């Protein structure tokens, strides 16, 4: 392996008669004057003079070919392997043409690959094309994980990629970008497992209901995560204490079913009082509606006079009081709009629970998964994130102000589909309630030890203020031009790497950590746990059909052989025996289906069709 052609202080071309170069592999150039210099292969080509190909002029020009001959390459001898090598650190002078190149030893390059101790980092995967270096790696980095290639679990054979957790104090937030099926959710799962391994309190918003860690991929691979996470579903076992919400929170919550008009927003502002309980708010709303149904103060007063029932009188007096206070500012149509939205919200069960258990789980260093639809998570998470962020902030501020405040730990907030929680503003599109708190954390969370990991298929739709604060980025396969454009602007990916983005294999990722200042080509390790949605839907359908058919066969078997003339009596019999009711057509369909699945055979007789067991 030799340096060929024109060189400069950053780049050089390399050629070999026998060794193929691989993209992203690391090589040492033994520069005759400057000593050993480390570089990374960023482009690879092969050249064969007997099979000339049009080239874009980047590498192979006539000068280069002359140069190759002068350096002793035998051009008559078939293929020459060529590569472009980029130095990790700029050299003082252009690299000497003709210098030899060699594969580095692990200890020579360790500092470029491993930026932290194992116990201070997250074991994310392996650095691609480092198998030569892995051969003499330190013992502590051997067999840290498996990779999953073509559905096979493979022993580690490359240098591990350890994401520097402790450096997040300085470079706090992470973006995970990639198109559909590129391996984003899988990568997120690996990061979450690693955070659980380190007992880092983490709040995960899970609109896909996929973040469960109870099922292991393989019994002897990775630890058991069952006790390290708690899962909550909004409306089922987590919700909002109504007493704690502000009018703004309530407006946001009401928007989940559909947008509030300005008039409706005013109704909420007038109707909601601080410290309202669910009951006091509901009663006030109901009284206003009742007053508006009666139509005027005079009508309400007439009703009061007309009734002898003391309770009824009391109630109507309150109706009158509410009506006189609020009617002017509350058009009945807007009150009705608020009222049905409120009923819908209540039906979600969101006010029947609080978030104390989730906050306690965070305080005991667990990973807390919040599940629900995107819309409901948008609103609920705004409330929850505000609440926990405030607790953490108060605690940290209290230390500075020498005052007392309950301890609340540093924590991560993680979400998939982040562009839904913090969308980039475009004229006329609606904002997400969660955007402002996420933006605030993106800008000042570092001060308080609150970190974001935001995953999205559509980086171009994510709020750009937030994107700009994401210091570490995982970039999986991306094909959309405008997302690639955003990635170009927001990361330090080289032109060659950007060109490769649409072709990356699922699970391969460009990982760019500000702390390192360089982008690595990494394969995400096999996760220790599996997603609950792993079943192929077509296999699910097939299994379902099999079970249905077996169930029905168990019933039908008792009545065989069956003649089509007896269908009517048979239906009655089946109903008496099992309670199942079929029409003649349904029964015929069932039997024909069992024939198709070779559980029955049908014979044509002069008395009609006769169904018998398949032998």
Ligand X SMILES: Nc1ncnc2c1ncn2[C@@H]1O[C@H](COP(=O)(O)OP(=O)(O)OP(=O)(O)O)[C@@H](O)[C@H]1O
Complex with ligand X: residue 175 or 507, whichever CB lies closer: 507
506 contacts ligand X (rule: CB under 6 A): yes
Q: For residues 489 and 491, what is the distance between their CA atoms, to the nearest angstrom?
A: 6
Q: For residues 186 and 211, what is the distance between their CA atoms, to the nearest angstrom?
A: 10
| Piece in contact with ligand X (CB under 6 A), picked from 8-16, 136-144, 174-182, 394-402 | 174-182
Complex with ligand X: residue 184 or 419, whichever CB lies closer: 184
222 contacts ligand X (rule: CB under 6 A): no
From candidates 185, 252, 382, 564, binder to ligand X by CB under 6 A: 185
Complex with ligand X: residue 84 or 189, whichever CB lies closer: 189
Angstrom CA distances, 460 to 140, 437, 457, 487, 506, stand at 40, 20, 9, 8, 21
Total binding residues toward ligand X, as defined by CB under 6 A = 13
For 484-521, the three-class secondary structure string (H helix, E strand, C coil) is HHHHHHHCCCCHHHHHHHHHCCCCEEEEEECCCCEEEE
Complex with ligand X: residue 186 or 408, whichever CB lies closer: 186
Residue 26 phi/psi, 5° resolution? -105, 135
From candidates 26, 177, 186, 448, binder to ligand X by CB under 6 A: 186
150 contacts ligand X (rule: CB under 6 A): no
My answer on whether omega of the bond before 502 falls inside 30° of 0, hence cis, is no
| Piece in contact with ligand X (CB under 6 A), picked from 43-51, 181-189, 310-318, 328-336 | 181-189
Q: For residues 578 and 584, what is the distance between their CA atoms, to the nearest angstrom?
A: 17
Q: Smallest distance, Å, CB 66 to ligand X?
A: 45
Residues 102-141 as x/- pattern, contact with ligand X by CB under 6 A: ----------------------------------------
Residue 542: Cβ-neighbour burial (10 angstroms; 0-12, 13-18, 19+): exposed
Complex with ligand X: residue 115 or 182, whichever CB lies closer: 182
Q: Which ranges constitute the DSSP H helices of 365-507?
A: 374-400, 418-421, 435-448, 464-467, 481-490, 495-500
507 contacts ligand X (rule: CB under 6 A): yes
User: CB atoms < 10 A from the CB of 413, how many?
Assistant: 25
From candidates 2, 128, 173, 184, binder to ligand X by CB under 6 A: 184
From candidates 130, 156, 182, 382, binder to ligand X by CB under 6 A: 182
Residues 415-454 as x/- pattern, contact with ligand X by CB under 6 A: ----------------------------------------
Q: Smallest distance, Å, CB 182 to ligand X?
A: 4
Residues contacting residue 375 through CB under 8 Å, at least 6 positions apart: 256
Cβ–Cβ under 8 Å, residues 548 and 565: no
Q: Smallest distance, Å, CB 207 to ligand X?
A: 11
CA angle 456, 459, 464 (to 5 degrees): 120
Going by C-alpha positions, the residue among 473, 381, 506, 384 that lies closest to residue 432 is 381
Going by C-alpha positions, the residue among 271, 240, 250 that lies closest to residue 381 is 240
| Piece in contact with ligand X (CB under 6 A), picked from 84-92, 173-181, 262-270, 556-564 | 173-181
| Number of residue whose CB is nearest ligand X | 507
Task: Summarize as ranges the residues that interact with ligand X (CB under 6 A).
Answer: 148, 178, 180-186, 457, 506-507, 524
């Amino acid at each position: 392996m030799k340096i060929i052609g024109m060189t400069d202080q950053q780049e050089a071309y390399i050629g070999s008669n026998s060794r193929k170069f691989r993209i992203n592999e690391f090589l040492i150039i033994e520069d005759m004057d400057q000593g050993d210099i480390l570089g990374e292969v960023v482009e690879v080509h092969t050249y064969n003079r007997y099979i000339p190909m049009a080239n874009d002029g980047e590498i192979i020009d006539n000068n280069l070919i002359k140069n190759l001959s002068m350096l002793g390459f035998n051009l008559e001898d078939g293929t020459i392997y060529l590569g472009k090598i980029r130095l990790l650190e700029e050299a003082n002078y252009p690299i000497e043409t003709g210098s030899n190149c060699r594969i580095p030893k692990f200890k020579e390059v360790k500092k470029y690959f491993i930026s932290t101790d194992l116990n201070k980092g997250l074991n994310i995967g392996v650095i691609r094309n480092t198998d030569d270096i892995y051969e003499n790696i330190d013992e502590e980095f051997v067999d840290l994980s498996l990779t999953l290639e073509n559905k096979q679990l493979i022993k580690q054979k490359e240098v591990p990629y350890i994401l520097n957790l402790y450096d997040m104090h300085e470079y706090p937030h992470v973006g995970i970008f990639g198109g559909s099926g590129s391996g984003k959710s899988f990568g997120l799962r690996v990061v979450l497992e690693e955070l659980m391994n380190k007992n880092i309190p983490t709040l995960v918003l899970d609109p896909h209901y996929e973040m469960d860690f109870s099922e292991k991929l393989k019994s002897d691979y990775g630890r058991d995560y069952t006790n390290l996470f708690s899962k909550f579903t909004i409306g089922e076992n987590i919700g909002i204490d109504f007493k704690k919400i502000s009018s703004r929170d309530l407006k946001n919550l009401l928007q989940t079913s559909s947008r509030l008009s300005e008039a409706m927003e005013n109704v909420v502002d007038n109707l909601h009082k601080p410290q309202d309980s669910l009951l006091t708010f509901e009663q006030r709303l109901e009284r206003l509606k009742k007053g508006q149904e009666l139509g005027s103060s005079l009508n309400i007063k007439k009703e009061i006079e007309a009734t002898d029932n003391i309770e009824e009188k009391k109630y109507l007096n309150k109706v009158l009081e509410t009506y006189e206070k609020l009617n002017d500012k509350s058009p009945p149509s807007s009150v009705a709009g608020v009222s049905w939205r409120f009923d819908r919200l209540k039906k979600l069960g969101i006010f029947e629970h609080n978030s104390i258990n989730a906050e306690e789980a965070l305080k005991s260093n667990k990973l807390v998964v919040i599940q629900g639809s995107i819309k409901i998570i948008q609103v609920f998470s705004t409330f929850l994130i505000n609440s926990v962020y405030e607790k953490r902030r108060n605690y940290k501020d209290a230390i500075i102000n020498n005052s007392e405040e309950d301890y609340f730990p540093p924590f991560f907030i993680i979400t998939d589909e982040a562009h839904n929680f913090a969308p980039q503003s475009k004229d006329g599109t609606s904002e997400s309630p969660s955007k402002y708190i996420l933006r605030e954390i993106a800008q000042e969370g570092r001060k308080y030890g609150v970190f974001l990991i935001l995953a999205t298929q559509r980086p171009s739709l994510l709020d750009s203020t937030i994107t700009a604060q994401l210091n570490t980025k995982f970039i999986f396969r991306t094909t959309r031009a405008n997302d690639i454009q955003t990635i170009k602007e927001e990361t330090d990916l080289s032109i060659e790497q950007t060109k490769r983005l649409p072709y990356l294999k699922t699970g391969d990722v460009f990982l760019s950590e500000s702390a390192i200042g360089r982008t690595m080509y990494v394969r995400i390790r096999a996760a220790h746990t599996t997603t609950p949605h792993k079943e192929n839907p077509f296999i699910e359908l097939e299994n379902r059909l099999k079970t249905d058919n077996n169930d029905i066969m168990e019933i039908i078997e008792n009545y065989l052989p069956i003649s089509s003339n007896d269908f009517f009596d048979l239906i009655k019999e089946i109903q008496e025996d099992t309670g199942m009711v079929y029409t003649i057509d349904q029964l015929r369909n069932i039997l024909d289906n069992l024939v198709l699945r070779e559980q029955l055979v049908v014979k044509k007789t002069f008395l009609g069709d006769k169904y018998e067991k398949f032998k």
